Amino acid sequence: MSNPIKTTGYAAASATSPLAPFHFERRALRPNDIAMEVLYCGVCHTDLHWSHNDWGWTIFPAVPGHEIVGRVIEVGPEVKRYQVGDHVAVGCMVDSCQHCDQCKKDEEQLCREGNTGTYGGFDRFTKEYTLGGYSKHLVVREEFALRIPDGLDLTRTAPLLCAGITTYSPLRTWNVGPGSRVGVIGLGGLGHMAVKLASGMGAHVTVLSRTANKMADALALGADALLVSTDEEAMAKAANRFDLIIDTVPVKHDLNPYMPLLDVDGTLVLVGQVGPLAEPSTVPLILGRRRIAGSPIGGIRETQEMLDFCAKKNILPDIEMIRMDQINDAFARLEKADVRYRFVIDMATLNAPAAA
């Protein structure tokens, strides 16, 4: 049996505290665990919400981070998939029951017992509170570690583990491919990945934005067009234009202007806002047989498929690399949407003791 791993991370001590250095231990490896040195960790809007207790259920101290890229430094005796030195990734979950119908369908994110979040969850064996990737080390069961394909730039891979799979999964669920007509609402961390992925699948992609200011950015990311959502005439002309709309807006907003843009049997998928929305009208839903749906992340198999697809198509997020000690400034900028389009923390800037 290995020893617990002494490590260092950055944690929020309370909803109003800045993130600060935090010393703690990762569990000793179980037979099917791997230990990894975290090399890069993406910064997700969820990290900000969690640290500020915006949803009301954060337990402190809270170590965020669920877009994790690292190197294996130790393996348990039953591990078969990985060996020391392999580059691996961990996303938003680190465990599930593994026996329900959803887990057996490789949909662990929809585990009937609830998946275990990389942070903010509870270990299925010890019931200890899980702490995320803003740390030097991570221990995870091998089934929830992902292989990083050769050729993917490690410095830019991390956001694929949340922003990437969150947008890839609905594109796959609704069978996007050549000839599909896809709209993307919002051009932030999620939105820019939705554009890149849908374009990579061969779809005709339109960004929906309140102004035309992001036209050049949208086209550079792979979009075919930009539709100004505040232009009533342009919106009217765009009726029935889309098979699928990916809505990445992370705050309460009105869906009514977008519903007529869907064709018959079209779907608007929410991937951004977790919480209330403005009251939608059922008229365009009923008269056009349209749908409003939600989608979380994908399962482990689908996430590996997404990583392999991105390697094949050379699809990577646009990032800004930061030091660990810049995280509070990054959070402040994230609140103002002042990032193009995802922060990634270089964890080499966090000094931690060597693994025990």
Residues 17, 135 within the same domain:
yes
Q: What is the CATH number of the domain that holds 184?
A: 3.40.50.720
Q: At what angle do helices 300-313 and 163-173 cross, to 10 degrees?
A: 100
Domain that holds residue 130: 5-162+298-349
pLDDT at position 2 is 72
Residue 330's Cβ-count burial label (10 Å; 0-12, 13-18, 19+) is: buried
Whether residue 95 is contained in a domain is answered as: yes
Q: Which helix (H) or strand (E) holds 75?
A: strand 68-75
Total Cβ atoms within 10 A of residue 159 = 29
Q: DSSP H helical segments within the chain, as ranges? A: 45-51, 101-104, 154-157, 163-173, 189-200, 215-221, 232-237, 283-288, 300-313, 327-335
Please report which confidence band the pLDDT of residue 161 belongs to, taking 50, 70 and 90 as the band edges: very high
Residues 155, 168 within the same domain:
no
Residues 314, 287 within the same domain:
no
pLDDT digits (tens, 9 = 90+) for 56-80: 999 999 999 999 999 999 999 999 9
Residue 353 in this model has a pLDDT that exceeds 80: no
Q: Which of 294, 312, 332 is the last residue of a domain?
A: 294
Q: Report the amino acid identity of residue 82.
A: Y
Residue 180 in this model has a pLDDT that exceeds 90: yes
pLDDT digits (tens, 9 = 90+) for 289-336: 999 999 999 999 999 999 999 999 999 999 999 999 999 999 999 988
Residues 344, 312 within the same domain:
yes
Total Cβ atoms within 10 A of residue 153 = 12
Q: What is the CATH number of the domain that holds 54?
A: 3.90.180.10
Whether residue 354 is contained in a domain is answered as: no
Output phi, psi for 233, to 5 deg.
-65, -45
Residues 229, 308 within the same domain:
no
Residues 82, 105 within the same domain:
yes
The DSSP secondary-structure symbol of 118 reads T
Tokens of 81: 């998939």
